[in-house]
Structure formats: C-alpha cells, structure tokens
C-alpha cells in the first residue's frame, strides 16, 4: 500500500468508500461518524417497549433494513449508512458492524450475541500506520446464514447462503454456501444437505 499521489483529487470520504487508503480523522469522515453515533446512542438507549422508535432509528441509521428484521441493542457501527440488511433477520445483543466499507446481509440471517463484522484494515507498513492511513474491504453475508455467538468476520469476506459459522469462529476467507465452518481461522467441517 502506498499513500495517494498528489494527482489524486478525491476527498478522504471518496477514498474510504472506494476501498483505498484514507485518514479516518478527516473532518468530513468524522462528521459522518458523529451523526451516526448520535443515532446509535439513541437506539441503544431504547427499551423493548419502544419498538416503533427502534425501527425508526434503524431506518435512519442504516443504508437499508428489511421487514421484520430485529437488532437487539446494544448495536455498534462506524457509520451505519454502509450497512444493508435483508428481511426477517435477527441479531442478538452486542453486534458490532464496522461499516467503513459496505456490509451486505441477506434475508433470514441469524446473528448470535457479540458477533463482529469488521471491514476496516490497516497497513502492515509501520510508517503508513503511524501516519494514520487505513482502508477497508466489504463483507457479504448470504441468505439464511447463521453466525454463532462471538464469531468474527474479517475484511473482504463473503459467506455463502445457508452456511453456519460456529460460535467464536474467526472467518478470514470466503466460505461457500451450504457448509458448517468452525475454528480460528474458520475451516469447513461439513457440507449441509436438506
């Protein structure tokens, strides 16, 4: 990874969304994060009796959210606007979805407590890290996936439909559809059949 050339006229926010190196404390990016953190804080302060308010806050916070999808607070995001989640999904307490890049979640996905979806990544080169450069890669979760409690999905990963990821697994590479994967790093242990 190298820093952008002087000829690159894109804003840091444009660089971030393109998956290129950017500096996270850029004022435009910081303002977007502040707006989403206000919404996230309001959402996390709600109670189950405030379901209509919860839905309204999620619709304002997220890029899109499908019908009948439930996310139990607390719920943590970087921006929220880069998250698209399908219909009839359920996320238990403590979902962390760091959406520096797009996070796309299909329909009927089940997410256990304290799952982490992590799109940001940092350069290996010490100088770039010291100068606060970072980047991100998108995450895609297919329809009908189950992510067990405490699972971690790393930057750039795609998980195929119907796949089950065991509790505590660390998914560092793409997983195909219709499998069970466990461990750190996650590995396929069996195929699923109806």
Measured between alpha carbons, how far is 8 from 179 in angstroms, rounded to an integer? Answer: 43
- Bridge partners of 146, per DSSP, are 110, 164
CA distance 173 to 41: 32
Residue pair 123/130 in contact by the 8 Å Cβ criterion: no
> Do the beta carbons of residue 125 and residue 161 sit within 8 Å?
no
Partners of residue 76 on adjacent β-strands: 96
Q: Name the catalytic one among 13, 37, 114, 122.
A: 122
Q: Give the strand order in the sheet containing 95-98.
A: 75-77, 95-98, 116-118, 152-153, 170-171
Nearest to 1 by CA among 134, 150, 165, 166: 134
Cα gap 181→169, rounded to integer Å:
8
The reply to whether 114 belongs to the active site is no
Please, which residues have CB within 8 angstroms of residue 147's CB and are 6 or more apart in sequence? Answer: 109, 110, 111, 112, 115, 141, 153, 159, 165
Catalytic residue annotation: 122
């Amino acid at each position: 990874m190298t820093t952008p050339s002087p000829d690159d006229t894109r804003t840091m926010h444009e660089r971030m969304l393109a998956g290129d190196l950017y500096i996270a404390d850029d004022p435009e990016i910081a303002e977007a994060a502040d707006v989403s953190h206000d919404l996230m804080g309001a959402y996390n302060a709600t109670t189950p009796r405030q379901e209509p308010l919860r839905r309204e806050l999620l619709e304002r916070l997220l890029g899109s959210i499908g019908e009948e999808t439930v996310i139990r607070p607390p719920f943590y995001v970087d921006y929220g606007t880069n998250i698209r989640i399908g219909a009839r999904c359920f996320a238990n307490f403590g979902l962390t979805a760091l959406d520096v890049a797009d996070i796309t979640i299909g329909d009927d996905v089940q997410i256990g407590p304290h799952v982490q979806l992590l799109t940001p990544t940092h350069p290996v080169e010490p100088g770039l890290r010291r100068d606060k450069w970072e980047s991100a890669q998108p995450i895609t979760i297919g329809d009908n996936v189950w992510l067990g409690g405490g699972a971690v999905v790393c930057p750039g990963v795609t998980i195929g439909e119907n796949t089950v990821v065991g509790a505590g697994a660390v998914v560092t590479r793409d997983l195909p559809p219709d499998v069970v994967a466990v461990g750190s790093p996650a590995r396929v242990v069996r195929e699923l059949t109806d």
